[in-house]
Structure 1
Amino acid sequence: MESKAIITAIGAYVPEHRMTNHDLEQLVDTSDEWIVRRTGMKERRIAAPEEFSSDLACGAVRDLVDRCKTDLTDVDLVIVSTTTPDYGFPNVSSRVQAAFQLKHAGAIDLSAACSGFEYALHVANGLVSSGLNKKILVIAAETMSKVTDYTDRTTCVLLGDGAGAALVEDTEAKGGFLGSYMGADGSLGKALYRTGLSNVMDGEPLIDTQKMVQNGREVFKWAVKTVTSGISILLENSGLQIPEIDWFIPHSANLRLIEAIFERLNVPMDKVLYSLEYYGNTSSASIALSISEAAKAGKIKKNDRLLLYGFGGGLCHCGQIIEWKL
């Protein structure tokens, strides 16, 4: 199916409170030097106790409206990617729908962990291109600090909070979405999880803390192999080659992981955008934050080709190639 959708607006929001590596030194046995060397991260934003994913989502939408001077009254669907919803229900998208009085919009949440924003864009593109919807608000919003175990130094140094928003709509311009590729390996679910109603997976007990648990080595190994292969397949399916991509934008999981992926692909790091240095790993919000920051800084230009690739819990992965029209 030919894509008829483009991204017409972008926005982002992060909480005010900064948690630096030096702050983490007071909580666990770690150091600024170790964190920077192993992850590339210097600080991350942390939501206030009374601040939740819906608040961050609304902040990102307000930024989108302010920056792009866009009208939301005719939005007909809100899709929110989150692994940290305020409630079991109502969903986060319904809270956004209410906050902006989007009277004609449906509301769904999508859960695909760190690849959620890319899955949500894929769904939005499909719905708009098929003619079922005209204007979709896509949001990724995460308060990972609320599910972080601050006694586990292997995970707590990584995670931060943030949100990004994009408007996907049907316009006269064509070619916004040039290709997509997705996949999953549910057999590796125990490598990255947070317990919920069940604390058993595949007949084996899980660490039931309600906090994120990760086998970092296993996820690193899976991501390098899977994302490298996935990007190659995405390019092939789209009829494009690496030199034809202006910016590669992976999930901001860890700088060493990103470097390993693009070293395998022979892509120079000066063509790779990430948001982890000052925001940490914000799960599904990380790519949206990377795009927002780069667009604001003037790095991303009109008609640039962006290759997005999210990966994480599930273990799920999803990528798109987008021609930037803003």
Structure 2
Amino acid sequence: MSLLGDPRRLMLRLTRDAATTVLAVVAGFGGWLFGPAEPAAASASANLPGISAWVADRVAGQPLPDPRRATPAQIARFFVGLEPAARAALAERYPAIVGNLDGAPLDLRFAANARRSAWSPERHLIAYDPRGNGRVAEVLGDLASADRIAVIVPGLSNRLGNFDRGCAGRERRALAWQARQLFQQVRADDGNARVAVIAWLGYDPPEGIGREAAREERARDGAAALVRFVAGLGEYRPMATVTLVGHSYGSVVAGLAAPALGRHVQDIVALGSPGMGVERATELRTSARVWAGSTLSDWTRELPGIRILGAGHGTLPFDAAFGARRLPVDNVVEHDGYFVPGSDSLRAVARIVLGGSTGAARD
């Protein structure tokens, strides 16, 4: 993809010391890039089909928890207090809500989403919303018994329509394919490990390289959804450790979520990252280990690593000044190569998920 010919995309070719270029862009395209942000989209749970009826409904005389306000812990407690028949009846009446309700029983979520989607019931969807660009989260492995959970957060141009086939038909860009490669690598490394890998498209990423990709509004919406999702995982598996793997713009989402993720998140991995919304890893305010890898042929290395008036995502995490642990990427090719079988990065991420180290010189 050529970045020349479009003045907006020319921003991607800035270097860290190109102050004069930055000033020119501010002067020439300030209204486009630095102007007021567009209104944030409503959260995924705000207008789910049936939400008005759900909020007005009662079970055994008690109100149903409002998905827009109740925490996953409150939702989990509500379902614990119900008889199995009452739980099943709620899922039958409100499949769109129960299927996307963090804290609701896993079996109910899987069953509700299997009914609503055209996908095989053998695929375990812990979230499914076909509206707009769509949201979906698929679980590989047995989440109900997992001791270690990996959540892959995708970047630009991911949507429900290319979850399986990838952007522009390139399968290795597909989020489902990436999750499958990581799950298979973990199982190959330790066949006895109780691990689940989740392909989490729980937000609406920017479409391509443009204004939204240079800003953080989409990432902030995604971070709020990610924090809630991880809190829900804590209700299902309170003793499990979680590894977040943010690819591309997904690492911005993970970075903005980091301060609120809690103790369950043991590692945060940034692959091909344009930044994590901060200048240093310590500013993420997390006890998790922070890892970063960026191969030499990754186009994100050309980004300036700045934040100006809401544009840019901060220091590139592969930069030593950022302070992240180094992820080996020597044999990775291009921005979409981090999950390719046999790659150094895939092996390293699998070791991290299993609670180990990468074997790199500066772990």
Is TM (by shorter chain) over 0.5? Answer: no
Higher relative contact order (CA 8 A, sep 6+): 1
TM-score normalized by structure 2? 0.29
